[in-house]
């Protein structure tokens, strides 16, 4: 389906041409005065210079031609030469009909589909997921779904942090605590010996201790580095232990992501890039990109015109191990090999901006991916508490993700039980509903913001039934559900538009698709949130103004039901793209 703005621009451009003016002046935009008209064209103002004529005269000439065209219910010249336009009901209805038959519900499909790898989530093995990982998961999933909605082939990769110094720290601490474990003995035999079962709670408690210890105890730090190196070199005992740790952490992460309705096509980790490390060093060597510095090997990525410091990348540490930077470079080779992507989008906290700038520069220098492959970094802002400081646990610690989600679900449960909505559901139903409402509130509350900005995590606000909240949107969908259910889910057809609110609704529906394109291009799911909200607001007005079910005029009733059904499909498409589950009723 061609976006309506594009169709209108074509129509107005040809009117400019017919009237003897430059057709490129016929660009149509959505009106910024919705009270006056639906669309506007300001081209006549720019035409004055080209055609040496008063803009108002140009606009009048073009308007005369447009008036001949039955498309419009309004063609008006305003002010110095703005052309104001509104579509006729017939055109709006035909548009809605086409929309309802479009498999993509009006979302323009890209002419050049890209293979896009979205690198998001990024949990670290042996560390509990914390709220820093929440945004990456939520925004990343939405960005991936946006790419798909626009017709691209999008692949999500979780990129587990499973290969760097943190692994060495955790394993060294475990070694000190359990020197008797077979995996720490020289004669460890993976065929015979086993690593004891690990549990995620105690396991996740190890890293903070080990990390603090490494800062005070140089010997411990050195041993941890050696352990990392040995692991990277395939030490059998460490490898067996690492596999155990990995399994526990992956199970943990999966549980959290399932709750969040986030899923990855690939669960690759940094370790999966390890087999590309020799190839990477060959490339770096052949291009003379490695330089020795204090026993380490580094890659210089600074450019003469840099205004901010651009430190070199450490390719190989002095003890021989490789770190976060190098695994990211090796991962580029892996991705090129596995997927040959046209674009890779990385999502982390904005504080990793320098890291990614270094990686992107090095990959261009070494030509790890074709020059045509886009490397995008989407760095998001911090989630703050209502005090404006980074959201913390009550005792000031980093908030574990599951605690945060449980807090939201509990608050949703309380809200739902306190309200009249659920008077006749049993507790199990309420719990299930609270789970969806709580998660929707958290996700929408995050996604409504421009991803690069900080935002305030305010559960009370997020759970409100009014305003730009996930709760309001879920609620709106349930209202439509109940109307359509009462009507016996009959398939109606739109015969007419009986009020300006319906015209608004029609217009919103017809313009929604293009926002998906814009949201994908700018990697900004917030447009989808905002549009879903706008649509829900207009629907709510329509719902309040009319008694849909009781309407006696059969055509009107059928039209209203069809319009409601189309709004529901559109809202669901929005919410599904945001990976927010809807609920049947509440």
Residues in contact with ligand ARG by the rule CB under 6 A: 119, 122, 124, 159, 161, 328, 346, 348
Is the C-alpha dihedral spanning 528, 261, 206, 246 positive or negative? Answer: negative
Tell me whether residue 39 or residue 207 sits nearer to ligand ARG (CB atom).
207
CA 338 to chain centre: 23
Question: 568 vs 149, 479, 482, 571, 572, CA distance in Å?
Answer: 17, 10, 11, 5, 6
Whether residue 576 contacts residue 518, with contact meaning beta carbons closer than 8 Å, is answered with no
Q: Which residues lie closer than 8 Å to 440 by C-beta, 6 or more apart? A: 470, 471, 473, 474, 575, 580, 581
- Count the Cβ atoms, other than its own, within 10 Å of residue 561: 25
CB of 364 to ligand ARG, least distance (A): 16
- Count the Cβ atoms, other than its own, within 10 Å of residue 400: 18
- DSSP 8-state code for residue 450: -
User: What does the block give as tokens for 262?
Assistant: 């986030």
Whether residue 84 contacts residue 37, with contact meaning beta carbons closer than 8 Å, is answered with yes
Tell me whether residue 115 or residue 585 sits nearer to ligand ARG (CB atom).
115
CB of 367 to ligand ARG, least distance (A): 19
- Count the Cβ atoms, other than its own, within 10 Å of residue 456: 14
Tell me whether residue 163 or residue 498 sits nearer to ligand ARG (CB atom).
163
Measured from each CB, the residue nearest to ligand ARG is 122
Tell me whether residue 266 or residue 421 sits nearer to ligand ARG (CB atom).
266
CB of 401 to ligand ARG, least distance (A): 12
CB of 137 to ligand ARG, least distance (A): 11
Tell me whether residue 328 or residue 514 sits nearer to ligand ARG (CB atom).
328
CB of 328 to ligand ARG, least distance (A): 5
CB of 202 to ligand ARG, least distance (A): 21
Tell me whether residue 133 or residue 557 sits nearer to ligand ARG (CB atom).
133
CB of 207 to ligand ARG, least distance (A): 12
Q: Which residues lie closer than 8 Å to 427 by C-beta, 6 or more apart? A: none
CB of 124 to ligand ARG, least distance (A): 5
Tell me whether residue 124 or residue 261 sits nearer to ligand ARG (CB atom).
124
User: What does the block give as tokens for 209?
Assistant: 């201790």
Tell me whether residue 161 or residue 400 sits nearer to ligand ARG (CB atom).
161
CB of 120 to ligand ARG, least distance (A): 8
CB of 115 to ligand ARG, least distance (A): 17
Whether residue 160 contacts residue 136, with contact meaning beta carbons closer than 8 Å, is answered with no
Residues 145 and 156: their CA atoms lie apart, in Å, by 10
Residues 537 and 472: their CA atoms lie apart, in Å, by 9
Tell me whether residue 346 or residue 475 sits nearer to ligand ARG (CB atom).
346
CB of 527 to ligand ARG, least distance (A): 24
Q: Describe the strand order of the beta sheet including 290-293 as a list of residue ranges.
A: 290-293, 296-299, 313-316
Tell me whether residue 239 or residue 363 sits nearer to ligand ARG (CB atom).
363
User: What does the block give as tokens for 545?
Assistant: 């103004």
Tell me whether residue 61 or residue 328 sits nearer to ligand ARG (CB atom).
328
CB of 325 to ligand ARG, least distance (A): 9
Residues 470 and 485: their CA atoms lie apart, in Å, by 22
- Residues listed for the chain: 586
CB of 271 to ligand ARG, least distance (A): 12
Tell me whether residue 15 or residue 167 sits nearer to ligand ARG (CB atom).
167
Whether residue 62 contacts residue 16, with contact meaning beta carbons closer than 8 Å, is answered with yes
Is the C-alpha dihedral spanning 445, 449, 452, 457 positive or negative? Answer: negative
Q: Describe the strand order of the beta sheet including 343-349 as a list of residue ranges.
A: 153-157, 115-119, 343-349, 374-380
Q: Which residues lie closer than 8 Å to 6 by C-beta, 6 or more apart? A: none
Provide the 3-class DSSP secondary structure of residue 537. helix
User: What does the block give as tokens for 291?
Assistant: 């330089």
Query: Please, where are the H alpha helices in 109-217?
Result: 131-149, 165-177, 200-216
Tell me whether residue 348 or residue 512 sits nearer to ligand ARG (CB atom).
348
């Amino acid at each position: 389906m061609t976006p309506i703005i594009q169709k209108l621009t074509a129509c107005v451009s040809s009117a400019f041409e017919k009237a003897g003016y430059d057709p490129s002046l016929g660009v149509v935009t959505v009106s910024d005065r919705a009270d006056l008209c639906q669309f506007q064209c300001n081209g006549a103002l720019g035409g004055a210079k080209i055609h040496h004529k008063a803009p108002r005269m140009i606009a009048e000439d073009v308007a005369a031609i447009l008036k001949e065209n039955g498309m419009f219910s309004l063609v008006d010249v305003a002010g110095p030469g703005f052309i104001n336009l509104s579509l006729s009901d017939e055109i709006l209805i035909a548009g809605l009909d086409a929309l309802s038959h479009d498999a993509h519900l009006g979302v323009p499909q890209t002419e050049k589909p890209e293979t896009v790898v979205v690198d998001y989530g990024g949990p670290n093995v042996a560390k509990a997921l914390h709220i820093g990982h929440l945004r990456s998961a939520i925004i990343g999933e939405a960005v991936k779904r946006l790419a798909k909605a626009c017709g691209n082939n999008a692949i999500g990769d979780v990129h587990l942090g499973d290969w760097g110094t943190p692994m060495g720290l955790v394993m060294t601490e475990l070694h000190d605590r359990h020197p008797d474990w077979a995996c720490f003995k020289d004669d460890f035999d993976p065929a015979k010996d086993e690593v004891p079962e690990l549990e995620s709670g105690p396991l996740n408690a190890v890293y903070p201790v080990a990390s603090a210890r490494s800062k005070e105890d140089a010997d411990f730090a050195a041993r941890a580095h050696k352990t990392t190196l040995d692991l990277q070199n395939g030490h059998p005992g460490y490898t067996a232990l690492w596999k155990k740790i990995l399994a526990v952490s992956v199970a943990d992460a999966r549980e959290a992501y399932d709750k969040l309705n986030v899923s990855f096509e690939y669960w690759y980790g940094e370790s999966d890039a390890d087999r590309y490390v020799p190839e990477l060093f060959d490339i770096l060597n052949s291009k003379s990109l490695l330089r020795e510095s204090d026993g380490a090997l580094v890659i210089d990525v600074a450019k003469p015109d840099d205004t901010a410091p651009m430190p070199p990348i450490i390719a190989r540490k002095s003890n021989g191990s490789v770190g976060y930077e190098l695994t990211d470079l090796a991962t580029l080779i892996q991705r090129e090999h596995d997927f040959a992507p046209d674009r890779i989008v990385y999502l982390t906290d904005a504080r990793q901006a320098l890291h990614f700038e270094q990686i992107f520069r090095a990959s261009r220098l070494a030509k790890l991916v074709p020059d045509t492959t886009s490397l995008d970094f989407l760095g998001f802002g911090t989630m703050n508490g209502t005090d404006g400081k980074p959201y913390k646990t009550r005792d000031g610690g980093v908030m574990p993700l599951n605690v945060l989600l449980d807090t939201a679900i509990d608050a949703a449960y309380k809200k739902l039980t306190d309200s009249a909505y659920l008077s006749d559901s049993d507790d199990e139903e309420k719990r299930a509903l609270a789970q969806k409402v709580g998660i929707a509130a958290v996700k929408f509350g995050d996604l409504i913001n421009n991803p690069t900005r900080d935002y305030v995590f305010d559960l009370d606000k997020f759970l409100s039934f009014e305003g730009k909240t996930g709760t309001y949107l879920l609620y709106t969908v349930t209202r439509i559900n109940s109307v359509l259910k009462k009507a016996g889910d009959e398939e109606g057809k739109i015969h007419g538009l009986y009020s300006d609110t319906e015209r608004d609704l029609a217009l919103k529906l017809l313009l929604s698709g293009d926002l998906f394109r814009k949201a994908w291009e700018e990697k900004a799911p917030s447009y989808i949130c905002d549009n879903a909200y706008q649509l829900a607001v207009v629907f709510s007005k329509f719902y309040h103004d009319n008694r849909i079910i009781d309407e006696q005029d059969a055509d009107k009733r059928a039209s209203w039901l069809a319009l409601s059904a189309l709004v529901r499909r559109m809202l669901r498409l929005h919410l599904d793209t945001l990976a927010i589950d809807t609920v049947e009723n509440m």
